[in-house]
Structure 1
Amino acid sequence: MQPETPGPAGSTAPDAVPPASGAVDHGLPVNWTLASTTATRLMQPGPRTTPAAASALVERLRADSARAEGHVREVTGLGAGLPLLPADVLDRAAWARAAVAGMDALTSGAELPASPRPLRAVTSAGAGVQLGALLAYLGARVLGQYDPFGGPDGTGRLMVVAPNVHAATQSLDVDGAQFGLWVCLHEATHRLQFTAVPWLRDHFADLVGGLLSLQEPDTAKLARLPDAIRSLRSEKGEPADVLALVELLQGPEQRAVLDRLLALSTLLEGHADHVMDAVGPEVVPDVATIRARFTERRRGGGLVDRLLRSLLGVEAKMRQYAVGAAFCREVTDAVGMAGLNRVWESPETLPTRAELATPADWLRRVG
C-alpha cells in the first residue's frame, strides 16, 4: 500500500509567482511517499523468531482481535449487530506505510494558505523526511492502532504490529496469549468507538481539519514565544512538554479547537484503557499483573528514550490515558456503563477538558 504523492491541489498560481490572496492548498505540505520510504529504511528490525512461531502469532492475533471486540461489546453495550472482523496483523514497515496513508487521508481536507510550487516541494520533502524518521521511532514501539480513515475503502482499519507484541511479551515476562488478547481489547475498543458511534468519524476529521486550517503565520507564533517560554519556566510541579508549548503558541481560535480535539482524544484513549481492564480476569486472568508491568514499561526507558518521548509528545499522551481512564471509572462507578455511554450521544455530550478532570461537572451537565 504505497500512498501517492499529493500534488499542490487548490493552487492555480504559476510556479514562480506567489499565489493570489485567498488562494489555498488542500492538505499538508508533506511528501507522503518520501515519508513512507524514509520510515521503511530507518525502521529497526524486529526480534528474531522462527517462521513457524511468527506464523502462529499472526494467526492468534487475527483471531484475538475479533474475539476481543465481542468481549468489548458485552462490557460496553455498544455495537450490537456489527460484524466481528479480524485485524490486519502487520510488521513494522507495513504499519508505517499504513500510518502514512491514514495521515494523508485524515489531513487531506485541511485548507492552508497557498504557496509557490517550488517552495511547497522543498517544504514537503523536508516534512516527509521528518515524518518518516518519527514513524521509524514509533514503529518499534506501537503495539496496535485503529485508523478510522485507513483500509482500501478508507472506512477504517484495525492493525496489530506482531513483532512489537512479541517483543513486549518478552520484556514484560507475561503470558503471550493473554497479553496479545489484552492488546487487542484496547484496539478493538477504538474500532467499536468509531463504528458504533455514527457521527464520531466525521466529527474527529472536522476537528483535525479545522485546527490545521486555522494555522497562523509563523510571525504571530514567534511573537508569543518569549511569553510561552516564561510561562513554562514558571510552572511548578509539572514538567514542561511539547504539548504545553504548542498550546501556549496557539491563537484563541486554534486553542478552542485544540481543546476540543484533546478532550476527545483523551476520552477515546481513556475509555479504551478502562474497557480493556473492565473485561476482567474471567477473560484475561493475569490482567492485574499485565497492567502493572505495562504501566511501568510506559514510564520506563533510558534517558535518551525518555527525552525523545517528551519531545514527541508521547509523555503527554500517557497522561491522556490516565486522565481519560479515571474519568470513565468515576462515571461508571456513579451511573454505570449505560450512563457513561451518554458521551456517545452527540458532540454536545462529549466531556470538555475541564470536565475530564472533574467528572461530577459532566454528570451535572448531562443530567
Structure 2
Amino acid sequence: MAPDSSAPDPALPPWEQMLRALLGDQADQAIAEMRARGIDPEALGAAGSLPTDPAAMQQVLAQVQQLFASGDDQPVNWQMAHDLARQQAAQGGDPSLTPAQSRQVLDALSVAELWLDAATELPPSAAPARAWSRAEWVEATLPTWRTLTEPVASSLSSALVDALGGRIGDDPALGLPPGGLPGGLEPGQLLRRLGSAVFGLQVGQAAGTLSRDVFGTTDIGLPLLDVPAPALVAANLDAFAEGLDAPAEEVRLFLALREAAATRLFTHVPWLRSHLLAAVEAYARGIEIDVDQLEEAVGSIDPTDAQELQRALSGGVFSPQTTPEQQAALARLETALALVEGWVDEVSATAALPHLPHAVALREMIRRRRAAGGPAEQTFANLVGLELRPRRLRDAAALWARIASEGGVAARDAVWDHPDLMPTAEDLDDPAGYAARRAQAAGESADLDRALAEILGEDPPTAP
C-alpha cells in the first residue's frame, strides 16, 4: 500500500514522522508489533542524524514520499541531497551577500593575486573571482560530490539488496502484509530506493554542514569545481576571524592567498584534478562491503525505516585497504594530497610574509586545522570510507621549500609539468636527497635514450 498522502504531525518526533511517511496507515501496526517484541521505537532515533528543524524535516518527508512514486533507481537521491543541503546551509541564517561583503572578498582575492605573482611562476586563473553565500557554495560543488560518492553508493545499494531483500514482505515483525510494500514496489526496488534516500540524506547533510565550515573550493584538498575559479564564502571567513588576535582583514587576505594559490595550481596543471579524482575513484571502486558486518548492522532493524537504516550504516560497513590495488591507490592519493597542500602552504606563506604581520601564526593555525581534521574530513570519511587528510603536509612543504632554495621558484613550479616528475613518498621522507635522486634518474633516462639511438641508427641525443 502506498504511504498516506497526508503530512505527518510535525509535533511527532522525527523517527515517527519518517516511519509514518514511509508506511502510512500501516505505521500504527508496525509500531505496536515492535513494542510487543520489546523494541522501543523511540530509541531508533536517538542516534539518528535527521534534521530537527521543522522546515527541514518537512522537506525530507516530502522527498521520501515522492521517492516511492518515482521510477528513478539512481544510487543517490540527488533531489533530496540538494534540498537538504540547502536547508542545512541556511541554518542560523544565510542571507545574500551585501555589496560591501562582496567587495571585501573580491578585493582580498585581487590583492592576493598581486602578491602571488612574486611567489610563483604559475599565472592567475582566467576565471573571475567570486564571493559566495553558503547556498551558492552548495549549488556550485554538488556536481563534484556526485562524482565522488556514486561509486560507493552503487556498491552499498547492491549489498543492501543482497543482505535484506529476502526479509521484506514475509517478516511479520515489519507489520507489512504480503503485497503491502510502499508504492507496490518489489523488495529489491524498495531497498534500492531506500539506499538512494539514505545516501541522499548523508550527502545533503555533508554538503550542508561543509558549507558552514569551508573557506573556499579547495579546503578538502580536492578541487570542487569543474572549472577552477577562486571563490570564498564570506560568512565563514568572518566567523573564523572572530576571536583571533589578527585583524579580520589580515585573516581574509591570508585565506584569499591560499584559495588563489590552489586555483592557480589546478588551473595550470591540467592533469592534476583528474589525477586526484581518479585516485579517489580507484580507492572507492576497490571498497568491499563486508556483507557479514552489514547483516549484523542492519539485521535487527526495520529495513523500511530510512532513518533507522541510516543510523545503522553510519557505524561503518566499509572494509578499507583490503586489496593491494586499494593500498596503492591510497598511497598515491595521500602523497598527491600532501604535495598539493604543501605547495599551497609554501607558496601562500612566501607571498604573505612580506605583507602580513601575523602570517606565521595564521600559517600554523591552518596547518593544525588540516592535520587535526574537522567536519570536512569526517564527512568524507563517512561518505566513502576515506579520510582526505594531508598527513604529510609539513614534509611536503619542506620539500617544496628545498627545491626552491636549490633551483629557484621556476624549478619548483616546473615539477608540476608532468605527473612523472612528481615527488614520491621517498622524497617526502628525505627532501635533502631529492636533487640527487632526480639527477640519477635523469642520467639513467639519458643512457636509455643513447642506447635506443644506437639501435635505431640515429644520432645520440645531446645532453641537456
Q: Shared fold (TM-score greater than 0.5)?
A: yes
What value does the CA root-mean-square deviation take over the aligned residues?
Answer: 4.1
Query: Mean alpha-carbon deviation: is it higher for 162-171 or for 278-287?
Result: 278-287
Aligned residues: 312
Change (3 A) 1:353 1:37: farther
Which residue matches 2:118? 74
Which of 84, 88, 98 lines up with 1:38 in the alignment?
Answer: 84
For residue 38 of structure 1, what is the amino acid of its counterpart? L
1:88 is aligned to 130
Where does the alignment leave 5 or more consecutive residues of structure 2 unmatched? 1-62, 64-70, 159-187, 295-316, 440-464
1:315-334 superposed matches below 5 A: 317=389, 319-334=391-406
Q: CA 1:170–1:48 in structure 2 vs 1: closer, same or farther (change >3 Å)?
A: farther
Counterpart contact for 2:141–2:224, Cα < 8 Å = no
* Distance 1:172-1:201 versus aligned 2 partners, 3 A rule: same
Aligned mates of 1:64, 1:86 — CA distance in 2: 13
**2:342 maps to which residue?**
270
C-alpha separation between the residues in 2 aligned to 1:221 and 1:339?
50
Distance 1:305 1:349, change over 3 A: closer
Cα distance in 1 for residues equivalent to 2:133 and 2:94: 13
- 1:1-367 pair list within 5 angstroms: 29-43=75-89, 45=91, 54-79=98-123, 83=126, 85-105=127-147, 115=158, 118-146=190-218, 148=223, 150=225, 154-219=226-291, 249-294=321-366, 317=389, 319-367=391-439
What displacement does 1:276 show? 1.0
Are the aligned partners of 1:47 and 1:163 in contact in 2 as well (CA < 8 Å)?
A: no
Q: After TM superposition, give the deviation of residue 166 of structure 1 in Å.
A: 0.6
Q: State the distance in 2 between where 1:266 and 1:364 align.
A: 21
The answer on whether the counterparts of 1:112 and 1:215 sit within 8 Å (CA) in structure 2 is: no
Greater CA drift, 171-180 or 139-148: 139-148
Gapped regions of structure 1 (runs ≥ 5)? 6-14, 16-24, 223-244
Letter in 2 for 1:94: E
Q: Which region of structure 1 is more displaced relative to structure 2, 259-268 or 133-142?
A: 133-142
Q: Summarize deviations over 1:24-77 as a string: whole Å, max 9, x none.
A: x9xx9322332222222233646899x99x532321212322332343233111
Q: Deviations over 1:319-344 (max 9, x none)?
A: 34333323322333343323322430
Q: Structure 1 pair 108/350, CA: closer, same or farther in 2 (3 Å)? A: farther
Change (3 A) 1:314 1:184: farther
Partner residue, 2:9: none
Whose radius of gyration is greater, 1 or 2?
A: 2
TM-score, normalization by structure 1: 0.70
Check 1:120–1:363 CA distance in 2 against 1; reply closer, same or farther (3 A cut): farther
Separation (CA, whole Å) in 2 of partners of 1:34 and 1:357:
45
Q: Deviations over 1:7-37 (max 9, x none)?
A: xxxxxxxx9xxxxxxxxx9xx9322332222
Separation in structure 1 between the aligned mates of residue 287 and residue 369 of structure 2, nearest angstrom: 35
| Alpha-carbon shift at residue 142 of structure 1 (Å) | 1.1
Provide closer, same or farther for how the CA distance between residues 112 and 170 of structure 1 changes in structure 2, counting only shifts above 3 A: closer
Paired AA for residue 58 in structure 1: S
- 1:121 Cα deviation after fit: 2.6
Contact in 1 for aligned 2:89/2:212 (Cα 8 Å): yes
CA contact (8 A) 1:57 1:162 kept: yes
Give SS of 1:211's match: helix
SS of alignment partner, residue 89 of structure 1:
strand
Find the aligned partners of 2:293 and 2:101 in 1 and give their Cα distance.
Answer: 48
